[in-house]
Structure 1
Amino acid sequence: MSTATQIGNEKDEAIPASMKAAVYHGLNDVRLETVPVPEIGRGEVLIRVASCGICGTDLKKISTGSHSAPRIFGHETAGVIAAAGDGVTKFQVGDRVLAFHHIPCQECYYCRHKVFAQCPTYKKVGVTAGYEPSGGGFSEYVRVMDWIVDRGGVVKLPDHVSYDLATFVEPVNTCQKAIETMALKSGETVLVIGQGAIGMILAFLAQRAGATVITSDLFPQRLTIGESLGLKNGIDANQTDVVAHMRDLTEGRGADASILAVPVNGLIRTAMDAVRPGGRVMLFAHTQRTEAKFDPSAVCMDEKTLLGSYSASVDLQKDSVDFVFSREMDLEKLISHRFPLEQAVEALQLAARPQPDSLKIMIEPRMAWEGQAK
């Protein structure tokens, strides 16, 4: 790998041998450490990380100790190309980019059936900061592997798109996939339970599809933020019986569909009870294998459909990029906290214990660049 490169609009500078990273060592054990900068091979690129969003799946892996250690998590990554391997023609040093960490093969049984998240190649993470591939955005540099670079997993950023905004492309894609799976029709009534950043994106997209959207959350502060984004029908779940309210709004029937955007098993029953016979229920946030109780007769006798949606769809990649880059939704309003990489452990702790004023939490290694430039 070349030892010198031009990064962004800054002067030529050497890629260091080591870097800071938030390293996972097992159950609830993440430490800020110095690790080697990953080397790249043919067809690969090295990205100097500017911003990385914290995702609920990162938190799940840390809180359950489900993955072998050491690893470096973080997959909502945007930054600058710091080096490009032999054979890379689509990108050059200095390009501002975002990187998807999963890209399917497009040829296997699951890809042919458009179930991309179950493709064996898709399940292989293609972005790493070293150790085992796990995303790696909670670090100063990440290596993006050849099939991600070659198959459209790296996207250039227009000048008007900030690094923070770009990190929303992957989570928006996952939300668009869920909305598409639900096949919402104009005029339907949809309940979205949970108004964290993802819940607000799901609600916005459902409303964009023509649905009348009702949102609910335990934190009224979040409903206020949602209202500023055009989500006018919020329910304070501390004060209102959500199921009864939905029936009152729909002549006793219930919503046409509901989306559960928080991983709380006890709310599955609420999401199902809130929809009418023949309605649909989308589980979006249940990424941890567990057991849950619900009334199966609601599926059989009441003909309610229980749906799930996980991860992103390559078919929606252009749509998600266009949606984010167009600023149709003021996604940066969802960012409540920004932390430098040196405070990554504190950032993860806050994200794991949501507060009324915490929504999307960003880890931003670029804060160190900006400090150096001053």
Structure 2
Amino acid sequence: MRLARVHGPGDVRIDRVPVPSPGPGEVIVRVAACGICGSDLGYIAQGSLGGVEPLREPLAIGHELAGTVAAVGPGVDGIAIGLRVAVNPDRAFIGGGGPDGGMADYLRVSAAKLGDTLFALPEGLSFAAAALAEPLSVALHALRVARVGPADRVAVLGAGPIGLSAVIMLRHLGVQDVVIFDRVAERLDRARALGAAAAIDVGEEPAPAALARLHGAGERFGAPWVGTDVFVDCAGSGAALAELLGIAKYRARVAVVALHHRPLELDLFRLMANEITIAGSIADNRPVEFGEAIAMLGERAIDLAPLISHRYDFGRFDEALATARDPARAAKVMLTFDMAA
């Protein structure tokens, strides 16, 4: 079968490997759709998971996927061949350091259990839509960490796939006042289409000015603040995050879900004086959020069409990667697999 693996910095290949067989507690999923994540692009560019230690063996990639159960190993209960499922990659680090990756014709899922590593798809839900459960649950986990409620005024930093997923899940949670920031007009257009109340180009209006205009402003201990209740960092820009922390109000909450590659100097006096809460969110243990995302997708209450910008057959892998690397063109790029192959 085909399997996408990273062999070194900038070196990703479609390798031919044996189709896996299920061992005890395992199932084999025939992959139908797999999204390309920013972390996949990072692994390829760095040539490893963290960009520090060289690879000891090729790194399988792909962790946003759905497909059909093709084989079931001994000791697996309640899962039958032919079941349509989305895969939660957390338990076995699928596509993130484990031996298996979702950019493949078949995937081995260990510790196979419905409601944990596998989620049955609601009737009529497409595989491509089901593959969105992974990024949507990443965003939902960040919102849970930040204790977001329907009445909160929320600012999302970055309108890439996770920022757009945050907009979707904020709508799912009943939040109406969502402002999102980016520099790419196409991304901002997608955010508006997905339900953001305001989508601001920071090249045209700085975030502090926009939030003061939209959420109100004031002063505390001689320093300005804006009325935003929750900030969700999906951009990974230290300068942008520091700017927003500098205007955070009393008891504002901040969730950092983006990858930051450099340390950030913080004004700890302001953090203390305003009782600001900052929490990281890695979403590597989120079966509850994953299941909630699947249920939301099954309801079809929110049109997610603007989130998937491109679909490519796996045979056009290089073209798909090139598109995913272009933020002006791409949101979520979805690989699809010929189920008859």
| TM tier relative to shorter chain | 0.7 to 0.9
Contact 1:21–1:72 (CA under 8 A) maintained in structure 2: yes
Q: 2:7 aligns with which of 9, 25, 30?
A: 25
Count of equivalent residues: 325
Report the Cα distance in structure 1 between the residues aligned to 2:318 and 2:329, rounded to whole angstroms. 19
Contact 2:119–2:291 (CA under 8 A) maintained in structure 1: no
Shift of 1:362: 1.1
Q: Which amino acid aligns with 2:255?
A: M
Distance 1:85 1:216, change over 3 A: same
Distance 1:58 1:75, change over 3 A: same
Q: 1:38 aligns with which of 11, 15, 20?
A: 20
Report the Cα distance in structure 1 between the residues aligned to 2:261 and 2:131, rounded to whole angstroms. 27
Q: Which amino acid aligns with 2:236?
A: P
Shift of 1:324: 1.7
Distance 1:235 1:88, change over 3 A: same
Shift of 1:150: 6.4
Q: Which amino acid aligns with 2:243?
A: T
Distance 1:187 1:152, change over 3 A: closer
Q: 1:136 aligns with which of 81, 101, 108?
A: 101
Shift of 1:51: 0.4
1:80-139 alpha-carbon deviations (Å, 9 max, x no partner)? 111111233322222221111124xxxxxxxxxxxxxxxxxxxx42x479xx72551111
Residue 81 of structure 2 corresponds to which residue in structure 1? Answer: 93
Q: Secondary structure at the match of 2:69?
A: strand
Residue 341 of structure 1 corresponds to which residue in structure 2? Answer: 314
1:39-70 alpha-carbon deviations (Å, 9 max, x no partner)? 22122111111100112222232222334331
Q: Which amino acid aligns with 1:174?
A: V
Q: Which amino acid aligns with 1:363?
A: L
Shift of 1:230: 2.1
Q: Which amino acid aligns with 2:68?
A: V
Report the Cα distance in structure 2 between the residues aligned to 1:186 and 1:93, rounded to whole angstroms. 41
Q: 1:188 aligns with which of 116, 132, 152?
A: 152
Residue 138 of structure 2 corresponds to which residue in structure 1? Answer: 174
With the length of structure 2 as denominator, give the TM-score of the two structures: 0.87
Report the Cα distance in structure 1 between the residues aligned to 2:187 and 2:26, rounded to whole angstroms. 40
1:214-265 alpha-carbon deviations (Å, 9 max, x no partner)? 1111112222222222223111112111111212331343122211111222
Report the Cα distance in structure 2 between the residues aligned to 1:345 and 1:293, rounded to whole angstroms. 39
Q: Which amino acid aligns with 1:347?
A: A
1:1-27 alpha-carbon deviations (Å, 9 max, x no partner)? xxxxxxxxxxxxxxxxxx112221022
Contact 2:150–2:174 (CA under 8 A) maintained in structure 1: yes
With the length of structure 1 as denominator, give the TM-score of the two structures: 0.80
Question: Is residue 365 of structure 1 aligned with residue 337 of structure 2?
Answer: yes
Residue 119 of structure 1 corresponds to which residue in structure 2? Answer: none
Q: Secondary structure at the match of 1:83?
A: strand
Q: Secondary structure at the match of 2:5?
A: strand
Q: Which amino acid aligns with 2:163?
A: G
Would you identify which runs of 4 or more consecutive aligned residues in structure 1 move more than 4 Å? none
For structure 1, the residue ranges without an aligned partner over 5 or more in a row are: 1-18, 104-123
Contact 2:29–2:68 (CA under 8 A) maintained in structure 1: yes
Shift of 1:144: 0.9
Report the Cα distance in structure 1 between the residues aligned to 2:243 and 2:326, rounded to whole angstroms. 21
Q: Which amino acid aligns with 1:133?
A: G
Contact 2:76–2:112 (CA under 8 A) maintained in structure 1: no
Question: Is residue 285 of structure 1 aligned with residue 273 of structure 2?
Answer: no
**Between 332-341 and 55-64, the greater mean CA deviation after superposition:** 55-64
Q: Secondary structure at the match of 1:276?
A: coil
Shift of 1:347: 2.2
Residue 294 of structure 1 corresponds to which residue in structure 2? Answer: 266
Q: Which amino acid aligns with 1:96?
A: R
Report the Cα distance in structure 1 between the residues aligned to 2:105 and 2:45, rounded to whole angstroms. 23
Question: Is residue 227 of structure 1 aligned with residue 192 of structure 2?
Answer: yes
Q: Secondary structure at the match of 1:333?
A: coil
Q: Secondary structure at the match of 1:278?
A: coil
Residue 248 of structure 1 corresponds to which residue in structure 2? Answer: 213
Contact 1:335–1:359 (CA under 8 A) maintained in structure 2: yes
Report the Cα distance in structure 2 between the residues aligned to 1:318 and 1:163, rounded to whole angstroms. 15
Contact 2:62–2:95 (CA under 8 A) maintained in structure 1: no
Distance 1:277 1:72, change over 3 A: same
Q: 1:261 aligns with which of 208, 228, 234?
A: 234
Report the Cα distance in structure 2 between the residues aligned to 1:333 and 1:188, rounded to whole angstroms. 24
Contact 1:260–1:271 (CA under 8 A) maintained in structure 2: no
Q: 1:61 aligns with which of 43, 62, 68?
A: 43
Q: In angstroms, what is the RMSD of aligned CA positions?
A: 2.3
Residue 70 of structure 2 corresponds to which residue in structure 1? Answer: 82
Distance 1:251 1:271, change over 3 A: closer
Distance 1:211 1:228, change over 3 A: closer
Q: Secondary structure at the match of 2:191?
A: helix
Question: Is residue 322 of structure 1 aligned with residue 295 of structure 2?
Answer: yes
Residue 58 of structure 2 corresponds to which residue in structure 1? Answer: 70
Q: Secondary structure at the match of 1:227?
A: helix
